Amino acid sequence: MKLLVNGLSKSYSEKLVLDCLNFTFESGKIYGLLGRNGAGKTTFFNCLNGDVSIDQGKILLEDNCLEKLKSSDIGYVLSTPVVPEFLTAREFLQFFLEIHQDSCSSDIQVDDYFDLFKIELGDRDKLLKEYSHGMKNKMQMLINFICQPKVILLDEPLTSLDIVVQEEMKDLLRKFKKDHIIIFSTHILELAMDLCDEVVILNHKKLELVEKKNLSVKKYKEKIIHCLRDDRCD
């Protein structure tokens, strides 16, 4: 399975943010989308997700046949979690499963999902408003993985999690990657090197694949940081 980005451009008024991006993402890999804060990473995700219109270009999914990427193909985990705080985690998950029953497995029970994401028994019936930022983020990741979307967009989802939960989420992502295209946005180089199979830099409004082995070389790493230092787009 492949996600093809062909000639994607996006501007806000007179400000060009993404300039004719061309890239092919493949399933079985976690792609680290690296760039400075404000480089256009979230704009790129919003274009893929259809939250904003693109000025030109095409976004296609190749899976047996070539077709336009649909919103139902995408799971999008935002950097700031949005959950219904008046519900408990169990109520929220049950509600989500009910409205997505056509696309979610009926063989997996609510507590199985909680177990998969290592949400403790004592937290499952708490109101979401009592959850920490990191726990809300974990719930957001859970519901975005339930329906097994073909493309998973992660907008800096690990930064609010403690180190133990971070490692749990990394392990889950590595298990999910076989049958999915995972694009992981971050501005932390070390995280991209640790988790991701490929590293893609959004720099000067363009996407560029970087050899991971080069990032461990001090001079090359310094060169990348120097290139990123002058790039702020949106």
Amino acid at 182: I
Query: Which tens digit of pLDDT belongs to each residue from 155-204?
Result: 887 776 778 878 888 888 898 898 899 999 987 778 888 888 998 988 88
Q: Which residue has the higher pLDDT, 145 or 23?
A: 23
Region of 83 please: left (phi>0), alpha (psi -120 to 50) or beta.
beta
Q: What is the pLDDT of residue 60?
A: 95
**CATH 3.30.420.40 for the 2-84+150-229 domain, yes or no:** no
Confidence of residue 232 (pLDDT cuts 50, 70, 90): very low
* Interatomic CA distance for residues 130 and 113, integer angstroms: 20
Give the domain ranges of the chain: 2-84+150-229
* Interatomic CA distance for residues 122 and 142, integer angstroms: 17
The three-state secondary structure class of 179 is helix
Instruction: Judge whether 33 and 197 are in contact, CB under 8 Å.
Output: no
Instruction: Judge whether 32 and 194 are in contact, CB under 8 Å.
Output: no
Residues ≥6 apart with Cβ < 8 Å to 19? 9, 204, 205, 206
Count of all residues that appear for the chain in the document: 234
CA distances from 12 to 19, 55, 102 (A): 12, 10, 37
Average pLDDT value for residue range 47-70:
91
Model pTM score: 0.85
Q: What is the pLDDT of residue 11?
A: 93
